[in-house]
A = this chain, B = another copy of it.
């Protein structure tokens, strides 16, 4: 009775068939020099004949690394996160790594807890070699992550105290957005922010304030309303702003989804964009140019951000390159149809010139 063939042949099965030691097979598989062409050929035939494939887990076990990276994000569906992830995944695979992605849930309670659970399962139990963390608050990972584990952070503001940070300079981006409105001649410019507990919202707010100040325009706190990134919240924020400050001619909206909500609310209130109100968003989300009017927005190359994160992480892993200083990524102003010069209103006539 012939020995039952194991479902998956091992190095030793190949070795037995080729009449060499399993070690030699290992050398052939890993392209290690020091194997005669003849031996190599015999082994290769045996490998082919048996359909041998090295066992990735066994290899991880012996090598002490998994060739797997993980990316943690608040969710996997928002286009910005999804494209970060896709960018990272592309680079990872190009370098022989896989990318495991996990979301750590919606805001509020449980978030930290879920994040910690993820760190435990992925990092402490050494399931992955490195981590990319996308977090609305850089503090979260900084606080919860072990210091000696390879991590690249994707953040929304510069932080000199944080190594391996790839960040968007939201402050200057927002200043640029506000500057665009200022240049068009707007002076009463409102703002709709994301949740103010997020770095990104804070930074953009700071940039907005900074641009106003540079232009010598007094800041009206009542002109800023907080949203939650959703189109609905943009809709509601506009209504508040509209009642509060009918003279407002432009709004900086901290993301495109809310901007779309603003445009809808404006129309419902009889306000025409951009004739009566200029609206600028952030992200340049897919189809931003297909709304009515097409959205003027601050575009971010989110794929490139994901790629950069993965490149940095792999450099640390493969080349033993140590922690690197923060990398700043640029945004780009995309002018479309939702912004224009302010209309000259009857009551403005007296004050001009």
Contact = CB atoms under 8 A, between A and B. Distances in A.
29 contacts: A53-B125, A56-B126, A57-B60, A57-B61, A57-B126, A57-B127, A58-B61, A76-B76, A76-B85, A76-B89, A77-B82, A79-B79, A86-B103, A89-B102, A89-B103, A93-B102, A98-B100, A98-B102, A99-B102, A100-B101, A101-B101, A231-B287, A231-B290, A257-B286, A260-B290, A264-B290, A287-B287, A290-B291, A291-B291
Interface in A1-57: 8, 53-57
B86 A77 contact: yes
A321 interface: no
Contacts of A100: 68, 98-101
A188 to B, nearest CB: 26
A211 to B, nearest CB: 28
Contacts of A290: 231, 260-261, 264, 291
Contact of A260 (B8, B66, B287): B287
Contacts of A53: 120, 124-125
A83 interface: yes
Contacts of A291: 290-292
Interface of A: 8, 53-58, 60-61, 66, 68, 75-77, 79, 82-83, 85-86, 89-90, 93, 98-103, 120-122, 124-127, 231, 257, 260-261, 264, 286-287, 290-292
Contacts of A68: 100
A9 to B, nearest CB: 11
B102 A121 contact: no
A51 to B, nearest CB: 8
Contacts of A56: 121, 125-127
Given A86-B75, A287-B257, A127 B101 contact: no
Residue among A60, A79, A100, A121 with the most chain B CB within 10 A?
A100
Nearest to A79: B77
A286 B121 CA distance: 32
A138 B98 CA distance: 24
A114 to B, nearest CB: 9
A231 B294 CA distance: 14
Given A85-B101, A98-B121, A100-B101, 9 more contacts: A56-B125, A58-B61, A75-B86, A77-B86, A82-B82, A89-B103, A93-B102, A98-B127, A100-B100
A291 B99 CA distance: 35
A165 B190 CA distance: 51
A122 B264 CA distance: 47
A43 to B, nearest CB: 18
Contact of A83 (B77, B86, B89, B102): B77
A116 to B, nearest CB: 13
A129 to B, nearest CB: 11
Nearest to A80: B77
A85 to B, nearest CB: 6
A159 to B, nearest CB: 28
